[in-house]
Amino acid sequence: MYQIRTDLALETQEKMQEDHVDLKGVRFLEEKVDRNLTISTVVIETENGARTMGKPKGTYITIEAGNMDEEDEDYHREISLQLAKVIEKLAHTKKDEISVLVVGLGNRDVTPDALGPRVVDNLFITRHIINEYGKYAFGSEKVNRISSIVPGVMAQTGMESLEIIKGVIKETKPNLIIAVDALAARSTKRLNRTIQVTDTGINPGSGVGNHRHGLNEKSLGVPVISIGIPTVVDAATIVNDTMYNLVTALTQSEAFESMGNSLEKLNDAEKYELIRELLSPNLNTMFVTPKDIDESVKRLSYTISEGLNIAFMKGVQ
């Protein structure tokens, strides 16, 4: 069956509802924090639900912040605070102190894929200081060990991110991995306005750079929380979607009533088949991104860093 690509569980859930698919095994909650800030939770509870959604079992929390693509310090501070709460909720570690490895995925040299590396630039890193001077260097009873790595992309390293991170985990034994990555959405209106936090890690085919292997508790042996912001839409997706709307419009339009005879009967698969024939094969290697992506990535990476700093450095100044 045809699959429109999106890394956002929220979009998949919406699409399923549109298509009247039965979502047994999937729970959905929505909380309006304020006029411009909504937090939605999709919980995929069963293997059945996972199959229907095309995403692994787990919790997917989405912060939708309609003005996040704009400059507004107070608003971004509020988002960082909400993000910190979400991270704390999903991390639910019992240990007094934890050791966290933050992984900045993506390619620093491609603007919309640079989110992960740039988040890491602004983190408050403590592991080496605690290792050398003890946690009392921070004048606090409880300090988490924060470390970070930017594994780079395969064309530059010759290695999968998974290989590098597995190795680093073996040597430094963190309790928790935070993987930050730029995502692909289905709709341009979500770009740079949505943060997804999940406890399922990063899974094959997700992210702007389309990871081939997953980074999750199963592959790494440590819980993995992933944080992502959609910064691109696949070019094929955007064309597909608009064309799908066109075909749908044509089948419903009164002006084209006579077409009803033929188009009306097309099911989804047939519609997509019709579309596919017209699509340039080049589109598969292309993405769509906003023109002001540099400013957005700069701002958003800072907002995520702050969320992480708040979540893990609480009580330390």
Footprint of its own copies on residues 173-202 (CB under 8 A)?
Answer: 187-189, 191
* Beta carbon nearer to its own copies, 22 or 278: 278
For residue 65, the minimal CB distance to its own copies (Å) is 16
User: Dihedral angle at the C-alpha atoms of 298, 189, 185, 148, nearest 10 degrees?
Assistant: 20
Binding segment for its own copies (CB under 8 A), chosen from 14-22, 42-50, 197-205, 230-238, is: 230-238
3 makes contact with its own copies (CB under 8 A): no
For residue 297, the minimal CB distance to its own copies (Å) is 9
C-alpha R_g of the chain: 21
For residue 256, the minimal CB distance to its own copies (Å) is 5
172 makes contact with its own copies (CB under 8 A): yes
Task: Measure the CA–CA gap between 45 and 26, rounded to whole angstroms.
Answer: 6
**Cβ atoms within 10 Å of 279's Cβ, excluding its own:** 15
Work out the angle at residue 176's Cα, subtended by the Cα atoms of residues 172 and 182, and round it to the nearest 5 degrees: 105
For residue 39, the minimal CB distance to its own copies (Å) is 23
259 makes contact with its own copies (CB under 8 A): yes
Q: How many residues bind its own copies (CB under 8 A)?
A: 78
Phi-psi region of 67 (alpha: psi -120 to 50; beta: other; left: phi over 0): alpha
The answer to whether the beta carbons of residues 256 and 221 sit under 8 Å apart is no
Task: Measure the CA–CA gap between 139 and 316, rounded to whole angstroms.
Answer: 8
For residue 171, the minimal CB distance to its own copies (Å) is 4
Amino acid of residue 222: V
Strands 37-44 and 26-34, by their bridges, are antiparallel
90-109 residues in contact with its own copies (CB under 8 A) are 107, 109
* Beta carbon nearer to its own copies, 1 or 262: 262
Residue-wise DSSP of 67-121: TTTS--HHHHHHHHHHHHHHHHHHH---SSS-EEEEEE-S-TTSGGG-HHHHHHH
Among 243, 302, 309, 316, binds its own copies (CB under 8 A): 243
Task: Measure the CA–CA gap between 196 and 135, rounded to whole angstroms.
Answer: 32
3-state secondary structure 4-32: CCCCCHHHHHHHHHHCCCCCCCEEEEEEE
For residue 197, the minimal CB distance to its own copies (Å) is 22
Binding segment for its own copies (CB under 8 A), chosen from 17-25, 86-94, 144-152, 196-204, is: 144-152
For residue 41, the minimal CB distance to its own copies (Å) is 26
The contact pattern for its own copies, residues 111-140, with x = CB under 8 A and - = no contact, is: x--------xx---xxxxx-----------
267-296 residues in contact with its own copies (CB under 8 A) are 274-275, 277-280, 282-283, 285-295
For residue 253, the minimal CB distance to its own copies (Å) is 9
13 makes contact with its own copies (CB under 8 A): no
Among 256, 269, 314, 315, binds its own copies (CB under 8 A): 256
4 makes contact with its own copies (CB under 8 A): no
235 makes contact with its own copies (CB under 8 A): yes
| Spatial CA neighbour of 128 closest among 143, 106, 118, 142 | 143
